[in-house]
Amino acid sequence: MKKLVHEDLSLAITRKELKGIVQACLNQQFQIFWGFHKGTMILHIYNSEERNLLTFRRHKHYLELLRAQIISFPVLQVLDFSIQFTLKTRKRLEQKRKRTAREIYQEIDYYLMVLHEELTTNNQMSVQEIKHKLEELRREQKRLAKG
């Protein structure tokens, strides 16, 4: 399996779910090691060939999964079964993409207003710069739409 890395996840995991993940990984003949670094908790799930890392931040009633580095397909299956990992990360990615598309749309809208003002003042230098910026934004918008 190709290495799967997810940054900035912010997925809430209950202690019960985490316990289920750990138990399922142990049943799959993986070993578990906990490490702590600068307020984060790092769960190492490994065997002789593969090392998977899950980074958490502790909260009062839950853990927040911040980062996941998954190399092993059985570990991914455990995460999917326990916390619907693939589904949640896909939804999160789609939300980020939509938010980015919305931001680009708003930026295009802004530059169109500025372009209108510059056209009324007949400032050709600014008009050309704004048109160039609008072309870049439109290319980025098309790239995001393709996925």
pLDDT in tens, the chain (147 residues): 788 898 888 899 999 999 999 999 999 999 999 999 888 999 999 998 899 999 999 998 899 999 999 999 999 999 999 999 999 999 988 888 787 888 999 999 999 999 999 999 988 888 999 999 999 999 988 888 876
Distance in angstroms (rounded) separating the CA atoms of residues 22 and 58: 16
Distance in angstroms (rounded) separating the CA atoms of residues 71 and 46: 9
Which residues lie below 8 Å from residue 81, measured CB to CB, with a gap of 6+?
24
Q: Are residues 12 and 73 in the same domain?
A: yes
pLDDT at 147: 64
- C-alpha 23: how far from chain center: 26
What sections of the chain are H helices per DSSP? 15-27, 73-83, 85-120, 124-146
CATH number at residue 18: 3.30.160
Q: Are residues 102 and 79 in the same domain?
A: no
Q: Are residues 79 and 95 in the same domain?
A: no
Q: Are residues 129 and 78 in the same domain?
A: no
Residue matched to tokens 């870049």: 136
Which residues constitute the domain of residue 128?
Answer: 91-146
Q: Are residues 74 and 95 in the same domain?
A: no
What are 40-60's pLDDT values in tens digits?
A: 999 999 998 899 999 999 998
Which two tokens mark 54? Answer: 């899950």
Q: Are residues 51 and 95 in the same domain?
A: no
